[in-house]
A and B are shown apart, each in its own frame.
Chain A
């Protein structure tokens, strides 16, 4: 196991390096730079500005300088936000996005699993239809439509919850629900179909025939087997929520990290583009690793680093 983890970490480092290099190259291929603007800077002022961010150096030198800083976990300054570094942007914005994302994931997974299980046990009955109806809405109505509706009713009409901002738990409720709608629908549908498949298996029939209680059959035999594919998609879903929260963060005026990810590209804020990409890649790689670990815990037949186990 330890050997497996060590190997995985080396692979992760290499993956990150490849991503960083590719991003660096691609980013410099896009037309325009951080200082392209409608009011043009004179050659000399541009020169001063570029010098401050090492942009006058040849690209290979810039690349080496960047990697050097990166090795010390310094992601550099933000060019657009002159007063802050990329590390600051992440340190301030990520915890906010993470709180929102985790809340949304908890809602999506718990309610999604619950709805999926109910739907499968009540197949083709009203509860099943209700759950599937909710899932269709979650899948087809984008969050930027759901969010303003929430604001209108819960915020303006009924004055139940704050419209926007970030000042405590009550401010997280609406955005977390809006953000969870899509993953919730996905989890519901996936869980339902997995459950139905498992429920039709011979061993479930055997278990029932043995006289085990329906509750025991469902909780021990069905759910445990049906949940594995759901765990697989939770990793990418979690990352999707963290990176895809840009729209929700904008609508609810949440000081998260999503907008830096999007705006850095239109601003050509090179260090922020690099920093955000590397940070998210590291996150994605970590989450995938955790999902793999979770597999072997849920299903003991799955062996990590199977080859050595021979």
Chain B
């Protein structure tokens, strides 16, 4: 059993942080890697990229948004409760090197995944500009942490309730216009956001890395459920990723594959709320 030592609501009822006791994973995990969590016997295996790890304390941190039955169930777990199964670290770690100027773009709970990567890029000596966004001020997470992890932080909200009124792509365009010597972009968030960011960076010729979260079962390359087309080739996000070149990813196919269980997910969530 994997005990929750800290629970925090980042946005009321919708975005939740869990710090979980998992000493072996905490000792081993690197930025960009994920875990698979299963709440109880009947639960689904849900992949989530780690937002943080604390090897001394032996804990890992995940941040998730409630979107269906499984995440709703995760959100009901209190401090002291436990996940039945946590598997990891899985996936290839982010390749971190000193490149010069880099820009990190995070949307929604993607900011949680972006945080350790940004921190590692800054530690490696890069000059890091960060753009984080959310639908509204309520849903914006980790602002202070991201400020600390970067040299320059820009904030935006879709509804203008905080920071720049507009999408992260607007700000990204401005940042890339200001900085012609940007070496790398990292974009992590909902698929439409990553797709739009990749389109912007392509115009500017800036290499872009995205972190994908397709439907997955085992996370070890065994089931092939998480396959994505990258540069015309089929890749498994669990072992070949989760990070890929955003200019090569077939986001439209990914979007369609992510919708494979829409009806079942609704049915499951409806049953659960009853």
Partners in one complex: no
Interface positions of A (Cβ within 8 A of B):
none
Interface positions of B (Cβ within 8 A of A):
none
